[in-house]
Structure 1
């Protein structure tokens, strides 16, 4: 019976990519960690980016009636 070696071959491909592009991998990992840290800081602060109610949103200019 033949064995399926798909998972080890994927691991070898990922390892080869990391070996060829170490700075790119570190930059992507740092970006992901920075975004996670910012999201965690926002959650800890408790403030949201969304307006609190509809009155605080800018509806734009008033229409001109002729």
Structure 2
């Protein structure tokens, strides 16, 4: 997930990004930008977080 500034940056340069993509801290808490939607049709996108939830593909213990 990301804030509005990150989303604007990614949308501006999205054609320059080449996957696969790994998003650390990907859990959607409802008020964050869903970056997965920008890249999902072009490459593999994996979201990892310490808790299961929307936007999380793999739960990992980062400690």
With the length of structure 2 as denominator, give the TM-score of the two structures.
0.20
User: Higher RCO, 1 or 2 (CA under 8 Å, sep at least 6)?
Assistant: 2
Higher strand share: 2
Higher helix share: 1
Larger Cα Rg: Structure 1 or Structure 2? 1
